[in-house]
Chain A
Amino acid sequence: MISLPHYLVVAAALFSLGVLGLLTRRNAVNVLMSIELILNSANVNLVAFSRFAAGNLGGQVFAVFVIVVAAAEVAVALAIVLTLYRLRRTPNLDAADILKG
């Protein structure tokens, strides 16, 4: 019988992989992909709790808001990455040291 802990373990695996990508990758687009993995794992948790523990749809509504925020975040982050690429001719985050004193 598949129940709540199964989904939570899958979400934990997604989250850990996202953190791993966030810490190891230098390419800004790759870092954005890792952030999407983390947001998806949070959504799986929300929907699983909504199905097995809460007894109502609040978790699914919250997951929709998470998707909206993810869409806005990707749009703004890609604009910043493109501007950085135009300035430094590289998508690597190490190049984003313009504010360093």
Chain B
Amino acid sequence: MTPEALVFWVFALVTVGSAAVVVLSRTLIYGAFALLFTFFGVAGLYVLLGADFLAATQLLIYVGGILVLLLFGVMLTHRINDLDLKSELGGLWDWLGPASVAVGLFVILSTTALKTKWQGAARPPAPTTGDIGRLFLGKFLLPFEAASVLLLVALVGAAMIVRRRRDA
């Protein structure tokens, strides 16, 4: 087994294992912390794929931003002192349908991925940050500006939604 394969399997195991903990854990806060390891594992896969800029973005935005927001969500929607941080899992019958859907999806997707003869040219690993910056300010300028407007509108809208009204 080459070192690259070893690193890949470690990151894949961390990613999928902690994603399973996110979905299956009874305690919400354990799920939130398992999500941290999922994001780290995905960032490691990005590094293996030669996407250095995207790996840094993943760590900065997902771990530093989105995960902290989700933790705030966990803290603010539970009274901490009555320790009601459980999320209901339901009985066996509640799981039968969703589990068969998920397993079916996985079988279909992975057999497609393994059976298809993928064509196309590989891009040799090289630093990506400069090229991505040029793409953002050249070919993808309009989506880039639209994304900035979207972020502004979403943040203002989120602040408006949670604002307490005077008359309520």
A and B physically associate: yes
Which residues of A are interface residues toward B (Cβ below 8 A)? 1-2, 4-10, 12-21, 23-30, 32-34, 36-37, 40, 43-44, 47-48, 50-58, 60-61, 63-65, 67-76, 78-83, 85, 91-92
Given A7-B49, A91-B77, does the pair A68, B22 have CB atoms closer than 8 Å? no
Extra contacts besides A15-B109, A43-B54, A69-B150 (4): CB < 8 Å? A27-B88, A33-B70, A61-B135, A67-B62
Given A68-B151, A81-B77, are A30 and B31 also a contact pair (CB < 8 Å)?
A: yes
Is the CB of B166 closer than 8 A to any CB of chain A?
A: no
Which B residues lie at the A interface, using CB under 8 A? Answer: 2, 4-5, 8, 12, 15-16, 19-20, 22-23, 28, 31-32, 35, 38-39, 42, 45-46, 48-51, 53-54, 57-58, 61-62, 65-66, 69-70, 72-74, 76-78, 87-90, 94-95, 97-99, 101-103, 105-106, 109-110, 113-114, 118-123, 125, 128, 131-132, 135-136, 140, 143, 147, 150-151, 154-155, 157-159, 161-162
List chain B residues, Cβ under 8 A from A80: 161
Query: Chain B's interface: helix, strand, loop or mixed, by majority?
Result: helix
- Interface pair A61/B123, CB less than 8 Å apart: no
**Shortest Cβ distance from B53 into A: residue:** A60
Q: Is the CB of B105 within 8 A of A19?
A: yes
Kindly provide the distance from the CB of B146 to the nearest chain A CB, expressed in whole angstroms: 9
A43 closest partner in B (C-beta)? B42
Please state if B147 and A57 are interface contacts (CB–CB under 8 Å). no
A52-B122, A53-B118, A65-B147 known; A34-B157 Cβ under 8 A? no
Q: Is the interface of A mostly helix, strand, loop or mixed?
A: helix
A17–B19 touching, CB < 8 Å: yes
Cβ–Cβ < 8 Å partners of B35 in chain A: 33, 36-37
- For B87, the chain A residues whose CB sits under 8 A away are 25-27, 30
Closest to A85 in B: B77
Complex CA distance for A40 and B59, rounded to whole angstroms: 12
B61 partner residues in chain A, CB cutoff 8 A:
67, 71
Closest 10 CB pairs of A and B: A53-B120, A72-B154, A8-B113, A23-B98, A12-B109, A55-B121, A20-B102, A16-B106, A21-B23, A79-B161
Q: Which of A12, A26, A74 contacts B88 (CB 8 A)?
A: A26
